[in-house]
Amino acid sequence: MPDEILDDIWKDITDNTDAPEAYRFHCLKVVGNRWRDWKCRLKQKWYDKYDTDEQRLAITPPRVVTEQWKTLECSEMNKVNRAQGGAPHRTGRKSFAQLRNVNQFNQCLEEREEDEQDELFREEIFTKVMGTDAHGRVRMYGAGVTPSQVFGQKSNLDNNENRMREEQEKQYQSKIDDLQSKLNEVSSQLSQVMTHVGFQTTPEESGSGQIPDASSMHQRRLSVNSELQPNLDLEA
């Protein structure tokens, strides 16, 4: 179906409904399937049941333009190829390709014991025989079903878990930064207090971030007092 017709169909849908833009692909895909089904029914009812073109052109089907109906041609290529074919098809409703895939699948299953054939193993064999799913399609789910509809719930769950994990990591990092800032502030205040009482920190001590013990501070204060005591005696 031409793109301009599909655009007109989608415009008519959006004008009369509140369908979101994300629904466009699935909606137009359904429209395309219905369009092909309608052409198939039209051909069966108004074309195949007649033997000659004169009979087919005598009546124009409803909802079909007469000029378009006149240009319809039935391909004779399949009839010619069928007449020139060799062995007839004897596999029933299944095609030779389907039977080939089934046989290949069963042969791969025989490589492992039946009690070891779990769902994951069968899924791997199915993908190996049939190949990966085409873009925008999921096998065994019918027309119009997309991978996001089948696997979207799990993907959304994974995305939510990753988002929550990232938010928690940001919160933890913020708390760590806040604690580090408070620690630096306390260290700065402690350094000022020790300088005020006459305690001088060495570069190694100040860089280590360790607080000296009480006995060490007491000994240094005694040393400072002993140095100040002679001056007080002389003045006395």
Q: Choose the weakest-confidence range: 185-189, 195-199, 213-217.
A: 213-217
Q: How far apart are the first and last CA of the chain?
A: 114
Q: Is residue 41 scored above 70 in pLDDT?
A: yes
| Residue 9 exposed, middle or buried by CB count within 10 Å (0-12, 13-18, 19+) | middle
User: DSSP letter string over 4-33?
Assistant: HHHHHHHHHHHHHS---GGGHHHHHHHHHH
Cβ neighbours of residue 91 under 8 Å, at least 6 residues apart?
A: 99
The helices-and-strands tally (H runs, E runs) of the chain is 10, 0
**Residues 130/139, Cβ–Cβ less than 8 Å:** yes
What is the pLDDT confidence band of residue 61, given thresholds at 50, 70 and 90?
Answer: confident
Whole-angstrom Cα distance, residue 203 to residue 9?
79
pTM above 0.85, yes or no: no
Kindly report the average pLDDT of the chain as a whole number.
75
CA distances from 76 to 87, 112, 205 (A): 20, 49, 98
Percent of the chain with pLDDT over 70: 64
What is the pLDDT confidence band of residue 56, given thresholds at 50, 70 and 90?
Answer: confident
91: phi then psi, degrees, rounded to nearest 5: -100, 10
Q: Domain extents for the chain? A: 1-84, 95-132, 173-235
What is the pLDDT confidence band of residue 235, given thresholds at 50, 70 and 90?
Answer: very low
Q: Is 128 left (phi over 0), alpha (psi -120 to 50) or beta?
A: alpha
Say what the pLDDT of residue 218 is: 54
| Token pair belonging to 157 | 């769950």
Q: Is residue 179 scored above 90 in pLDDT?
A: yes
Q: Is residue 228 scored above 50 in pLDDT?
A: no
Over range 227-233, report the average pLDDT: 48
User: DSSP letter string over 69-112?
Assistant: HHT-----HHHHHHHH--SPP-STTS-HHHHHHHHHHHHHHTTS
Say what the pLDDT of residue 236 is: 45
Place of tokens 């009839």: 79
Q: Choose the weakest-confidence range: 84-93, 119-128, 165-174, 217-226.
A: 217-226
What is the CB-side half-sphere exposure of residue 173 using CA atoms within 13 A?
6
Highest mean predicted confidence (pLDDT) among 85-99, 108-122, 157-171, 180-194: 180-194
Say what the pLDDT of residue 77 is: 47
**Residues 138/26, Cβ–Cβ less than 8 Å:** no
Q: Is residue 9 scored above 60 in pLDDT?
A: yes
